Amino acid sequence: MVLSWLRPGHRHRFFCKARCDGHLTACSFMRFFPFLLAAVALLPPTLAAAQVAPTPGFERLPSGTEYQLFRRDAAGHYAPRPLNPPGDAPYASRQGQVLLINLQYRTDRDSVLMDTRQMQARQAPAGTKPQPVPVGLGPNPGKGTPEEAMSLLLPGDSAVFRFNADSLFGKAGQPIPPFIKRSGNGFRFVVAAKELLTADQMRARQQAMQAEQQRLAKARSAKQLLKDDATIQAYIKKNKLTTKAKKTVGGTWYVITVRGKGVLPKKGQTVSVKYRGTVLATGKEFDSTAKHGDTPFDFVLGQGQVIQGWDQGIAALPKGSKAMLLIPSPLGYGERGAGADIPANAVLRFDVELTGIK
């Protein structure tokens, strides 16, 4: 469920800035990574191969990519695996399929810059397991590219691929990021190949995962809605608003403090609203029209341009009304919250005035 901020197109402070949960080095690497992939593709095959010998412990492809391939033996121990010859049937049959992998980026000194398993674990919705990353296998991977490295893998393989930082960044005329330069002249991909799927199988799996995530999210939302409704009713009772408070069919509570003499707004009409928003539990204000020159906020009612609690609550107010909206978190910003000022699963109070209907 996408929960929109009140002002469409407005980059509000309640949108979290992109941030990483790891060290600064990992964040920096991810900013450089799209460039890095493009730079690898520009390298001529002989550039990295011009070194006298591979890094100790590694084999080298003609393109210059260095690698170590492993597979578990009968005893369950990892043992080196020889590279299959070019055009080998198991590889040719994989073209157009999807390889699922776990992947780490490491410096030459073995510092982990990024780990897809950790990233997937952080991003996986509650109640679901982190999944390997899908990599499409094309017919002609570029020489010396990460795609070429991935094309060497079969399900069950583990591997380490090493790339030369000077070659990659120098070719594109870019300096080597300090966090890589301090750790040697190379970086490594540590990969575990988990499963091979056809495009149709991958599509079906993604659809099944999305359906399961939606089911779990709906169940969590229903449970949280009951909890928040009890919180709101306790607030209403404490503040002696029982005879004035009403509830929409969708679950938003509202108390009209000044009833306007105008008509009720209809779905599809543009409404103008002045507001002040606070977190019910703390009373802390997170936004108001007063902070925006006291200019009413315009939006089209019932089109999902605002949080659901607004679409429901404003629709219940005649033009000119002033009211208090009490919004359960699933009808507000849900389990993600919004920035630093609206925590996860926060019940919200909005004091609003419906100033216009167009």
The domain limits of the chain are 24-197, 219-357
Dihedral of CA 13/18/22/25: which sign?
negative
Q: Which residue is associated with the tokens 């330069």? A: 181
Residue with the two structure tokens 């590279």:
83
Please give the class, per CATH, of domain 24-197.
alpha beta
Q: Which of 24, 28, 23, 19 is nearest to 176 (CA)?
A: 28
* Catalytically annotated residues: 275, 286-287, 307, 333, 350
Say whether 219-357 and 24-197 share the same fold. Answer: yes
CATH 1.20.140.10 for domain 219-357, yes or no, is: no
pLDDT, tens digit, for every residue of 84-110? 766 666 667 788 899 999 999 888 778
Residues in the chain: 358
HSE-up of residue 270 (Cα within 13 Å, Cβ side) = 5
Q: pLDDT for 173-227, tens place per residue? A: 677 777 666 656 677 889 999 999 999 999 999 999 899 989 999 999 999 999 9
The fraction of the chain above a pLDDT of 70, given in percent, is: 78
- For residue 70, is pLDDT > 60? yes
Confidence at 8, pLDDT banded by 50, 70, 90: very low
- What pLDDT does 109 receive? 79
Structure tokens at 277: 């928003």
pLDDT band at 163 (very low <50, low <70, confident <90, very high): confident
pLDDT band at 21 (very low <50, low <70, confident <90, very high): very low
Model pLDDT, residue 112:
86
DSSP state of 84: P
The residue written with tokens 């403090």 in the block is: 257
Nearest-angstrom CA–CA distance, 15 and 34: 24
What mean pLDDT, rounded, does the chain reach? Answer: 82
Nearest to 177 by CA among 105, 118, 116: 105
